[in-house]
Amino acid sequence: MQVEILGVLIPFAFFALVFASLYVHLTTRNKERLALIEKGASPDLFKAKPTESSGYTTFKSGLFLIGIALGIIAGYFLTESGMDETAAYFSMIFLFGGIGLVVSFLLQGKFKNK
């Protein structure tokens, strides 16, 4: 009986927490903006300034995901050779994911120099 109640309460509590966090964030931001406007600040301060996107985020994410995929494949081969499944997959995913990030950092430096 208690497990069934927890099965309902946990998702409800999660969504209530998300809603409450958003509500507090938005109301606080609105109060800050109104206070600044009352003091004579320009409403243009609240517009988001366009940021220069370097385009490397997609490149970095792509190499990271390729590294994770290679880690899964390497983990599979290690489990086939007799290594513990959990250790093989976790270690290879982290290793190859990290290698993907390092490669993206090195290649990003080369692209910036050109």
Q: Please state, rounded to an integer, the average pLDDT across all residues of the chain.
A: 88
Residue 82 phi/psi, 5° resolution? 115, 0
55-109 residue pLDDT tens: 788 889 999 999 999 999 999 999 999 999 999 999 999 999 999 999 999 998 8
The tokens describing 82, both together, are 């007799």
Q: How confident is the model at residue 27 (pLDDT cuts 50, 70, 90)?
A: very high
How much is the pLDDT for 51?
66
What's the pTM value of the predicted model, to 2 decimals? 0.54
